[in-house]
Amino acid sequence: MTTTRSAHRRSTRTPWPLSAGGRTLTRLAFALVYVALIVSRVLPSGRTTANRELVDRAGLIKWGSSHLAFLSRAYPPLPTAIASVAGTTFVLALVGALGAGIVLESIAFRLAMRGFPLWAVLLLTAAVGANPAFARIVSGDLTLFLTIGFLVLALDGFMRFAYRGHTHGGFQAGLSVGMATLCNPTAALCAVGFAAAAPLIARHRFATERAAGRATAGVLLFPTVAGIAGWIFLCWRFAGAPIQWLRNVAPSLGFPGGAGVSAESAIDHVTRAAAATPLFLLALIFLVAARNTAAAVGSCLPMLCVALALWLGLPFTTGATAVVLTIVGLFTLPGRPSRLVVAAGCIFAVAGVALTASAILLGA
């Protein structure tokens, strides 16, 4: 009995801190790298237009005022509220750096728990952390960074719910994608994608329970619907413009250039993003080789949602799509990896960073 327990402890031991204090210190260590780069002006903070526009928008907020006409111009509300407190683009960059520490530590923790050695955990996490596109988003576009951060949490919860049956993962996915929608309307399409897949998941996980599909879809979709409906009501009630906020953030909404041209542009966008993320393609290969068709299709769900959003005219950059696909690839690498999986993953991680860096240098 004692021998069995000791063997179980050894088998579950990870090279990553498990205590709350250890994980917090690790998050700060990751964040300090970005703080140092921002302070030394290696990463842009005040020279970017995205955070500057966010600060200007935050100036419209009149805390404590009974006149709320500014609401139609205050979307996205969550980043705008943060910017109203932060006040400057430099502080917004520091907030992004702290958030990056949380995201990177979460990725590293997941990889360590799945059995990757410490050196591989750090190298694979660098596929995101050392990605120039991710670094630029962290320091220069808090709105887009928060969108990615919440989508990462949503994807993590959705995959744990779909492939491991963790019920709390479904709640995490629904709440996280709802928060992401308060940062970028494109996230609403991800919520729709999760809800569309819910009946299939429920049929597999809860075959004996009636209406499990509708209940699962409701858990995944309700926070997003509630957030959007609430914001529309507030804008209608206090600003008299229920959907003007959507026109402000997506001026080309409604198939820009026509449905056919928009479809071609959206397909080209996701194709380029996937080509720049070899780690995502490697994870798909492993899933197909393992005949895990459901997981392979689920991993492609973000691509489909982003393509649909772009087709409709909603905003999302190629760099952000590539970052999300890289994280999806990391989440779907096989657990308890063999030496081949570890080696291939690290090689493809380095290749992905190199591809992104070269694309940025060439102005692509």
What does the pLDDT look like over 228-250, one tens digit per residue? 999 999 989 888 888 888 888 88
Instruction: Give the tens place of pLDDT for each residue, 330-346.
Output: 988 888 889 999 999 99
* pLDDT at residue 120, rounded to an integer: 93
Higher-pLDDT residue of 293 and 151 is 151
Residues of the chain above pLDDT 90, percent: 38
Q: CA–CA separation, 137 vs 51, rounded Å?
A: 10
Average pLDDT over residues 122-136: 92
* pLDDT at residue 141, rounded to an integer: 92
Average pLDDT over residues 58-64: 80
Which range of 30-39, 47-56, 252-261, 296-305 scores highest in mean pLDDT? It is: 30-39
Higher-pLDDT residue of 78 and 210 is 78
Residue 11's pLDDT band, with cuts at 50, 70 and 90, is: very low
pLDDT at 12 over 60: no
Q: What is the mean pLDDT of the chain?
A: 84
pLDDT at 126 over 80: yes
pTM: 0.87
pLDDT at 359 over 80: no
Which range of 46-50, 186-190, 213-217 scores highest in mean pLDDT? It is: 186-190
Q: CA–CA separation, 96 vs 341, rounded Å?
A: 32
Q: CA–CA separation, 119 vs 176, rounded Å?
A: 30
Show the tokens assigned to 205.
């996980």
* pLDDT at residue 315, rounded to an integer: 85
Average pLDDT over residues 265-292: 89
pLDDT at 99 over 90: yes
Neighbouring residues of 238: CB distance < 8 A, sequence distance ≥ 6: 68, 69, 71
Q: Are 353 and 135 in contact (CB under 8 A)?
A: no
